[in-house]
A and B are shown apart, each in its own frame.
Chain A
């Protein structure tokens, strides 16, 4: 069934049609949330909120913009709301910690036990870890434009519409995001793990 037909049916309350829409778009929505929130638990929560909100507000979609752009805008807005609340909470708990008694331990990230891996997998795991670390260090703004451009292949114009920023900002943000990602990967020895040949020394980039 065509997407437009699915949307129209879902708009009139057809749960099955809505489920088809969800299945078609859940990976895109979830991964954008994952990039913007930075962790799977929050990404799941926000993704659920996106689809529940979509179900309630689907009637407002007028077929004037591409559906995916419309959905990404909803997703991005909910992620931004979520990040704001999280920052406010983090700020509050920090204030409490400063004024209250001593906190037992800070938040520690538990690294899962590294079970012995076959040699060819070690290289792959190192590479994956390097990417994960680099991704975590990249600012949220940069991860969002990268996700929409590199994975979703939206045009600069569409990205500007989704994130409600100027096209010039999309362009410069993407350029900086790429340079920074490359730098992070370089520092994380990603290129070493990826291939035996060394990358050339740092070039001066703006």
Chain B
């Protein structure tokens, strides 16, 4: 074996990929050739230098990826409810309505002109929803069955700006009935990025669809 042949085998030798015959021939050459031994050492050093040249990934790699994944999951979850809501809307002939209670937590343009009782969500729920219900979820389910309407339960700390442009009428119990179209509902759902919600829809949506929007007492007016 000459030096050129030896040099060709050195890389595979470092990787332990030589056949026993090749290994034997190369070892024999190395034993009597100082220059090739030095070359092999230089290759080893080059490998070590390459291996040393590793970097720690920046922390923002994990942060960005996880934030985006979280956002995507939340979006797709929201989208599926939105599609169901919009699907129900498509069946309804005209405008949909959002029945909004718990006026103390909602601040809307013109709100100061209307005197309203400071009621908690629970109290207004009792005014609005079936008396026999124990929880908002049960109440929404009952309302859904009894009135054949779609009921959307939405929990959020966000005050819905999406409602601010909508016209409404104030009802006897102090709650407001908002008139909304498909685009307004879309905006409303988008406004609740991190909201938790539940949708109760009848098998056969009625002509007019009613949405009940519930806000927790912890929500603060803007």
Contact = CB atoms under 8 A, between A and B. Distances in A.
Q: Is this pair of chains taken from one and the same complex?
A: yes
Contact of A135 (B17, B50, B64): B50
A18 interface: yes
Interface stretch (A66-74, A89-97, A101-109, A149-157): A149-157
Interface of B: 3-4, 7-8, 10-12, 14-15, 17, 34-36, 38-39, 42-43, 45-47, 49-58, 60-62, 64-66, 68-70, 73
In this complex, which of A13, A182, A204 has the most chain B Cβ atoms within 10 angstroms of its Cβ? A182
Interface of A: 13, 15, 18-19, 22-23, 26-27, 29-31, 34, 40, 44, 47-48, 51-52, 55, 127, 131-132, 134-135, 146-147, 149-151, 156, 171, 174-175, 178-179, 181-182, 185-186, 190-191, 194, 199-200, 203-206
Question: Do most interface residues of chain B lie in helix, strand or loop, or is the interface mixed?
Answer: helix
A48 B56 CA distance: 14
Nearest to A131: B49
Contacts of A48: 61, 64-65, 68
Contacts of B15: 149, 156, 174
B53 A205 contact: no
Interface residues of A, dominant DSSP? helix
Contacts of A171: 11-12, 17
A47 B51 CA distance: 20
B157 to A, nearest CB: 22
Given A23-B62, A26-B57, A26-B61, A190 B50 contact: no
Contacts of A178: 10-11, 14, 43, 46-47
B37 to A, nearest CB: 9
Contacts of B35: 200, 203
B50 A181 contact: yes
B54 A31 contact: yes
Contacts of A31: 54-55, 57
A20 B44 CA distance: 34
A67 to B, nearest CB: 17
A84 to B, nearest CB: 23
A191 B46 CA distance: 9
Report, nearest first, the 5 A-B pairs whose CB atoms are least far apart: A175-B11, A30-B57, A51-B65, A182-B46, A200-B38
Given A156-B15, A179-B7, A203 B39 contact: yes
B55 A34 contact: yes
Contacts of A175: 8, 10-12
Nearest to B64: A48
